[in-house]
Amino acid sequence: MSAVPLRNSKAAVSAARAVSVLGATGSIGDSTMDLLRGAPERYQVEALTANSNVAALAKLAKEFNARFVAIADPDLLKDLQDALSGTGTECGAGESAIIEAAARPADWVMAAVSGAAGLKPALAAVDRGATVALANKECLVCAGDFFMQRAILTGARILPADSEHNALFQALGSGNREELVRVIITASGGPFRTWDSAEIEQATLAQALKHPNWSMGQKITIDSASMMNKGLEVIEASHLFGLTPDEIDVLVHPQSIVHGMVEFSDRSVVAQLGAPDMRIPIAHCLGWPDRIVGPSARLDLAKIGQLTFEAPDFDRFPALKLAYDALRTGHGATTVFNAANEVAVAAFIAGKIRFGAIARLVEATMNAWVRSGNLAPLSSADDAIAVDHNARNKAATLLPQIAAKAS
Contact positions vs ligand NAD (CB under 6 A): 23-29, 49-51, 53, 72, 98, 112-114, 117, 135-138, 162, 214, 216-217, 219-220, 278
Q: Find the distance separating the first CA and the last CA of the chain, reported in whole Å.
A: 45
Taking the C-alpha atoms of residue 326 and residue 165, their distance in angstroms, rounded to an integer, is 19
Burial class for 138, CB neighbours closer than 10 Å (0-12, 13-18, 19+): buried
With CB under 5 to 8 Å by kind, the binding choice for 195 among ligand NAD, Mg ion, none is none
**Min dist. Cβ of residue 209 to ligand NAD (A):** 12
50 vs 130, which CB is nearer to ligand NAD?
Answer: 50
Nearer Cβ to Mg ion (162/263): 162
- Compute the least distance from the CB of residue 372 to ligand NAD, in Å: 28
Choose the one of ligand NAD, Mg ion, none that binds residue 51, judging by a C-beta under 5 to 8 angstroms depending on kind.
ligand NAD
> CA-to-CA distance for 100 and 95, rounded, in angstroms?
9
Integer Cα distance of 318 and 302 in angstroms: 35
223 binds Mg ion (CB under 5 A): no
What Rg do the C-alpha atoms of the chain give, in angstroms? 20
Subset of residues 162 to 181 that bind Mg ion, contact rule: CB under 5 A: 162-164
Minimum distance of ligand NAD from residue 126's CB (angstroms) = 16
Residue facing ligand NAD at closest CB distance? 26
- CA distance linking residue 46 with residue 64, whole number of Å: 9
- Per this entry, what is the length of the chain? 407
If contact means CB under 5 to 8 A according to the sort of partner, which of Mg ion, ligand NAD, none does residue 29 touch?
A: ligand NAD
> Which of ligand NAD, Mg ion, none interacts with 282 (beta carbon under 5 to 8 A by kind)?
none
Number of residues that bind Mg ion (CB under 5 A): 3
Number of H helices, E strands in the chain: 17, 11
Taking the least distance from each CB to ligand NAD, the nearer of 38 and 217 is 217
* One-letter amino acid for residue 290 of the chain: D
Q: Which of 134, 331, 151, 341 is closest to 236 using CA atoms?
A: 134
Closer to ligand NAD by CB, 319 or 398: give it. Answer: 319
For the CB of residue 248, give the shortest distance to ligand NAD in the complex, in Å. 17
Q: Which does 280 bind (CB under 5 to 8 A by kind): ligand NAD, Mg ion, none?
A: none
- What stretches of 48-137 show up as alpha helix (H) in DSSP? 54-64, 77-83, 95-103, 119-127
Could you tell which of Mg ion, ligand NAD, none binds residue 136, using a CB distance below 5 to 8 A set by kind? ligand NAD
Nearest 5°: phi and psi at 270?
Answer: -105, 125
Closer by beta carbon to ligand NAD, 69 or else 398: 69
The residue among 116 and 172 lying less far from ligand NAD, judged by its C-beta, is 116
Render the burial of 80-99: b for 16+ CB within 10 Å, e for the rest. Answer: bbebbeeeebbbbbbeebbb
Beta carbon of residue 309, minimum distance to ligand NAD (angstroms, whole number)? 21
DSSP one-letter code for 390: H
Residues from 134 through 163 that contact Mg ion (CB under 5 A): 162-163
Handedness of CA 390, 223, 332, 125 (dihedral sign): positive
In angstroms, what is the minimal distance from the CB of 266 to ligand NAD? 31
Q: Give me the residues that bind Mg ion (CB under 5 A), please.
A: 162-164
